[in-house]
Amino acid sequence: MQIANTVTLVTGGASGLGQATVRTLVAGGGRAMILDRPDSAGETLVAELGDRVAYAPADVTDEAQVAAAVAGTVERFGVLNAAVNCAGVGIAVRTVTREGAHSLGLFTKVIQVNLIGTFNVIRLAAAQMAKNTPNEEGERGVIVNTASVAAFDGQIGQAAYSASKGGVVGMTLPIARDLASLGIRVLTIAPGTFDTPMLAMAPDSIRQALAAQIPFPSRLGRPAEFAALVRHIFENVMLNGETIRLDGAIRMAPK
């Protein structure tokens, strides 16, 4: 699937990895619907990038809101060819702390947003893509999810986050198999330590320490590098059902 003239729904598209993806898609001649929280910078990004971009304020865990965003994408651009799931949240809490047991509510929230929210978007976007006329390769759509290296080597305090991202990894292949007969590919990217707004809040000393753990290149990943992989996934039809680590060969230490 070529980027040019492709219409993509990007969750978490107003900042970080999602925003970089939107910019890359638009630069390549594509169009994008940003699905992000009502308090995000979605409208600001639309004002900057123009009429090849639209914004649907929504919560990925809300069935009606995501369904409306999918329908709004088709209404605005005429079709939905792809979805990129970048929306997510993270916390750092040990299973047992001095205050007691890990909050079940916090654990549930992370699973709800990162895992259930991702599946919510996948199922609704795929149902729409199934209506597309297949291209010369028989392809009707592409879905790219965002996991994390924490799915494989989660650190202290990452029980909820690792569980949520591990779930995304675990459902990638079966969903790809589910959707194969429809000509819809499904892949997941597992980024390492990237320079996103969430990490920007950390002190510079912590950012430098994180960068030093990466074998090569010994720096934080750039959102544009994530977006470049999304583009390659779109354009390489043989990629399907796989989780790709994008991490500079890092393997996270316990803390």
The catalytic position among 77, 161, 194, 226 is 161
pLDDT at 204: 83
Active site residue 161: yes
pLDDT at 111: 98
Residue 26 has pLDDT above 80, yes or no: yes
| 189-209 mean pLDDT | 84
Task: Please give the residue that has the higher pLDDT: either 216 or 202.
Answer: 216
Name the token pair of 124: 């609704």
pLDDT at 186: 98
Query: Distances from the Cα of 184 to the Cαs of 3, 83, 115, 141, 237, in angstroms?
Result: 16, 11, 20, 5, 10
- In this prediction, residue 205 has a pLDDT band, given cuts at 50, 70 and 90, of confident
Q: What are phi and psi of 106, to 5 degrees?
A: -65, -45
Residue 61 has pLDDT above 90, yes or no: yes
Taking alpha carbons only, the member of 229, 3, 7 closest to residue 132 is 7
- Say what the pTM is: 0.95
Residue 53 has pLDDT above 90, yes or no: yes
Residue 39 has pLDDT above 90, yes or no: yes
- In this prediction, residue 188 has a pLDDT band, given cuts at 50, 70 and 90, of very high
pLDDT at 2: 93
Residue 66 has pLDDT above 90, yes or no: yes
Domain boundaries, the chain: 7-246
pLDDT digits (tens, 9 = 90+) for 145-185: 999 999 999 999 999 999 999 999 999 999 999 999 999 99
The answer to whether the CB of 34 falls within 8 A of the CB of 14 is yes
pLDDT at 253: 87
Q: Which CATH code for domain 7-246?
A: 3.40.50.720
Residue 187 has pLDDT above 80, yes or no: yes
pLDDT digits (tens, 9 = 90+) for 118-136: 999 999 999 999 999 999 9
> Please, which residues have CB within 8 angstroms of residue 97's CB and are 6 or more apart in sequence?
none
Residue 206 has pLDDT above 80, yes or no: no
Distance in angstroms (rounded) separating the CA atoms of residues 231 and 23: 11
Alpha helices in 78-115 (DSSP H): 104-111
pLDDT at 199: 77
Taking alpha carbons only, the member of 147, 143, 146, 145 closest to residue 125 is 143
Q: Calculate the average pLDDT of the chain.
A: 96
The answer to whether the CB of 241 falls within 8 A of the CB of 177 is yes
Residue 78 has pLDDT above 80, yes or no: yes
